[in-house]
Structure 1
Amino acid sequence: MNHLTPKQIVAELDKYIIGQHDAKRNVAIALRNRIRRLMVKSDLQKDIVPNNILMIGSTGVGKTEIARRLAKIANAPFTKVEASKFTEVGYVGRDVESMVRDLVEQSVNMVKESKNEEVKEKAAVIVEDVLLDILIPPVKGAGFSTTGTSTNFNPENASEQELNERTREKFREKLKNGELEDRRIEINVKQSAPSGIGMIGNGMMDDASMAGIQDMLSNMMPKRTKKRKVTIKEARKILMEDEASKLIDFDEVKEEAIRLAENNGIIFIDEIDKIASKSGKGGSGPDVSREGVQRDLLPIVEGSAVNTKYGMVHTDHVLFIAAGAFHVSKPSDLIPELQGRFPIRVELQSLTRDDFYRILKEPKNALTKQYSALFEAEEVFLDFADDAMEEIASLAFTINEEVENIGARRLHTVMSHLLNEFLFEVPDTIGPNSKIMITKEMVTERLSSLVKNRDLSQYIL
């Protein structure tokens, strides 16, 4: 990650997102600045805060995708929240601090996954021994004889212990070669703790305190196990998780996860325009609640300590990316303090016909490639003529103009209408090794009714 330059970050984003060059440049700079901050040797490192970004653009132009892909490039914990889901303190609903808790949860899962990978080989050796003990229990005695592995081994003169060891070695080889994967064995599996423990109280306890108490109570309760009959393949998976968790120091995981969330975390706040108070309203009615959410949001974005079940998390260096269409309200309708916390403003461009065509053809995860992969899973080969993709793009663009502009999401609707009949016929009528070629004529024939029919239920996702 430390070697990624802003240009390289933009090049990575270009593999998945068409256009929106300004937005890509700004998020690339923001990501690189985080690396630069960690390279600063002086005390100034603590004072360098991230430049949060406000993305302005209609739905389906790539705002969420840019933020999500950025997190993947940075291998950073990422959480997406809708600002409209939050309520002012004192009202029933999600409080703004829950976004930080979600981020830390994501960070813990990432660190756990990484640690599991580190101890994978050690755990595999332990699991192999456990499986071997279930298949061929060892004979109790003082150590094993080396005769069992000797080339001059004679079964008639061997002791029970030597025979047992010899058999175990044969079964160990079979386990390694995968010859016993379908054999069923009985293993002890830990029963999961109850998902929720009822608490008597006045309802004023926050999520972190509740989660902490539940964890403490579940740890105090005796661990219960039950016997399950599973194949060796399934047993290996269950035992691997169990043994890997024993090899990992969870306190170390928590510390690393909090550090990762604080320094690398990205929180994407969508629909921020929905909590902006419209100009000239005079601060009455629902706008008071909207402004209350903004004021609750402010300390989190400015930098504060949030209590989570894993410990205190400081949000000073978390990168916040906010986004909204701002069709009704304007960015200036946000309270001035919150506006000041999003100094970088990027306006995303509406998508053109040419953009739609490129979205179908160029990205690594293009819709045409996704559908081709689905058909290929059933050994049916799907291909698109170039002019067919141009026609699909043109139809999607036209429907957006005439009905409601939902951006690139319209392509999902159009492609679904085009290919659903084929998807239904595979594999019953269209068998393996068949080839389907999507031509311009086929697109026109199957989708012409979409443009003529004005019934909104045909188009809105």
Structure 2
Amino acid sequence: MITEHNLTPQQIVRELDKYIVGQKEAKRSVSIALRNRWRRLNSREEIREEIVPNNILLIGPTGVGKTEIARRLAKLAMAPFLKVEASKFTEVGYVGRDVESMIRDLTDIAVNMVKQEMQDRVKEKAADAVENRILDILIPPVKKPSGVGFSSDKTDFDPTKASDNELNERTRERFREKLKNGELEDRQIEIEVKNKKTPMMQVFGPGGMEEMGMNLQDMLGNVGKSNKSKKKLPISEAREMLLEEEAEKLIDHDSAVQEALERVQKQGIVFIDEIDKIAEPSTGAGKSGPDVSRQGVQRDLLPIVEGSTVNTKHGIVKTDHILFIGSGAFHVSKPSDMIPELQGRFPIRVELNSLTEDDFYKILSEPKNALTKQYEAMLETEGVSISFTDEAIRELAKIAAEVNAQVENIGARRLHTIMSSLFDELLFAVPDDISSGEITIDPTYVNKQLDSLVKDKDLSHYIL
């Protein structure tokens, strides 16, 4: 049986094929890298620490599937995963985010992931506690006099002689049954819940100042204001809020943090997009552009990718076995423009191919999340059924390929702009002018909506 934790490389590729067209080499590389995490964790203890991940550099134009591969890999990996843009980081000494923040963010993700898993395991116990809390609101319990008990034997029960405790208990039991049968879901109750919002506070600066900002937020977030507030909600909504609160009480937060730290170090994956933006293009002697910190960002990134220790608010994280996947179009710069040390830390290079007309056809028709299926689902909510003929999909693919060739190649993102223009008139007309019925999208409809845009190069440059 396939599970997320032991997918073989071929199974990973098959899962990626459901959403991403083509790019076999890239899929092979990430599938091997993902499986190698499992192989390392199951290898002999004396060699385990010596096995380092082979980081990957994905090279290809925009819109060919680099980021989509990362997104789908994250879901398959069931491991702490973070996608960052390299262009958001600055060299230490400049105002902005330092590269270590990516590890801190990854650790936060892991802690939340582990806590959620732990909460899922105690949901049953939490549900019982929530039921009692709701009953306490509906039928407040009567305090028993000290040393006095009561019998709840139904055969001897006499309402005229029953104590307040007995009546209260029997009323609670009746309401408990109603709760279980879903008879009270719409009833309004007032509950006290923890406030989740805390004032945002972040300090940017060198040497861990950003981390200090997060600690200050933890310490001062609730100063001067109550940590709880009262809300009036239907029982169905109140149950969800209380369930989360009760589940959180039942988990061991310290062990969750320890497990998360271990998971980050052993299974963490960081996807660094736009890595080409921090490479210095070699355009002649004395080149020094406005982004003077580019090479500095690379040098700051090097120890993280190479293996170092990073202080986070949850504890120390070693980055030696975190998998890094770099991605970039490399239109202006080349991979060789990165500093040699950083180049050496991304030994696996995969070039992604530009998309063809045939690829566009497959993207529109094959994946589970194809744009054609998305528009069908959206209009279905309005009672309008649309269907695409095969010829219409081929015409859309042809237009996408032509516009990419003539205007600017933005890959599969071109399909979003074309589909938006194609359905602009229909989406505006529904539901006022068209409230139901079936509409077939054929080549005639496609050409009617898009022909003028495709022929007018100046207009298509701005719209498509």
2:152 pairs with 1:146: yes
Alignment of 1:297-316 (within 5 A): 297-316=301-320
Task: Say if 1:30 and 1:460 are closer, same or farther in 2 by CA, change over 3 A.
Answer: farther
Q: 1:127 aligns with which of 116, 120, 130?
A: 130
Q: 1:360 aligns with which of 357, 364, 379?
A: 364
Q: 1:326 aligns with which of 327, 330, 333?
A: 330
Q: CA deviation at 1:160?
A: 2.7
2:401 pairs with 1:411: no
Q: CA deviation at 1:40?
A: 0.9
Alignment of 1:429-440 (within 5 A): 429-432=433-436, 434-440=437-443
Q: CA deviation at 1:284?
A: 4.7
Q: CA deviation at 1:227?
A: 2.5
Q: 1:450 aligns with which of 448, 453, 457?
A: 453
Instruction: Write the distance in 1 (CA, Å) between the matches of 2:107 and 2:173.
Output: 45
Moved more, 205-214 or 59-68: 205-214
2:345 pairs with 1:336: no
Is there any run of 5+ residues in structure 2 with no aligned partner, and where? none
Q: 1:70 aligns with which of 70, 73, 77?
A: 73
Q: 2:273 aligns with which of 252, 262, 270?
A: 270
Q: 1:114 aligns with which of 103, 114, 117?
A: 117
Deviations 1:357-415 (Å, cap 9, x if unpaired)? 00011111111111111122233222111111111111111111110100000000011
Instruction: Write the distance in 2 (CA, Å) between the matches of 1:369 and 1:310.
Output: 43
Q: CA deviation at 1:84?
A: 1.5
Identify the residue that residue 104 of structure 1 maps to in structure 2. 107
Q: Look up the equivalent residue of 1:94 and give its one-letter code.
A: R
Q: Look up the equivalent residue of 2:210 and give its one-letter code.
A: D
Q: Does the 8 A contact of 1:50 with 1:318 survive in 2?
A: yes
Identify the residue that residue 29 of structure 2 maps to in structure 1. 26
Task: Say if 1:203 and 1:317 are closer, same or farther in 2 by CA, change over 3 A.
Answer: closer
Q: Look up the equivalent residue of 1:372 and give its one-letter code.
A: E
Give the SS at the match of 2:409.
Answer: coil
Q: CA deviation at 1:283?
A: 5.6
Q: Does the 8 A contact of 1:306 with 1:313 survive in 2?
A: yes
Q: 2:388 aligns with which of 384, 389, 394?
A: 384
Identify the residue that residue 242 of structure 1 maps to in structure 2. 245
Moved more, 237-246 or 215-224: 215-224
Q: Does the 8 A contact of 1:185 with 1:230 survive in 2?
A: yes
Moved more, 347-356 or 102-111: 102-111
Give the SS at the match of 1:43.
Answer: helix
Q: Does the 8 A contact of 1:54 with 1:321 survive in 2?
A: yes
Instruction: Write the distance in 2 (CA, Å) between the matches of 1:128 and 1:206.
Output: 45
Q: Does the 8 A contact of 1:87 with 1:94 survive in 2?
A: yes
Give the SS at the match of 2:457.
Answer: coil
Give the SS at the match of 1:47.
Answer: coil
Task: Say if 1:156 and 1:103 are closer, same or farther in 2 by CA, change over 3 A.
Answer: same
2:321 pairs with 1:317: yes
Task: Say if 1:456 and 1:285 are closer, same or farther in 2 by CA, change over 3 A.
Answer: farther
Q: Does the 8 A contact of 1:144 with 1:165 survive in 2?
A: no
Q: Look up the equivalent residue of 1:238 and give its one-letter code.
A: M
Q: 1:14 aligns with which of 13, 17, 22?
A: 17
Instruction: Write the distance in 1 (CA, Å) between the matches of 2:331 and 2:201.
Output: 44
Give the SS at the match of 2:282.
Answer: coil
Q: CA deviation at 1:213?
A: 3.6
TM-score calculated relative to the size of structure 2 = 0.93
Instruction: Write the distance in 1 (CA, Å) between the matches of 2:390 and 2:378.
Output: 20
Q: Does the 8 A contact of 1:450 with 1:458 survive in 2?
A: no
Task: Say if 1:151 and 1:459 are closer, same or farther in 2 by CA, change over 3 A.
Answer: farther
Q: Does the 8 A contact of 1:403 with 1:456 survive in 2?
A: no
Task: Say if 1:302 and 1:143 are closer, same or farther in 2 by CA, change over 3 A.
Answer: farther
Deviations 1:145-168 (Å, cap 9, x if unpaired)? 223xx2564433433322222211
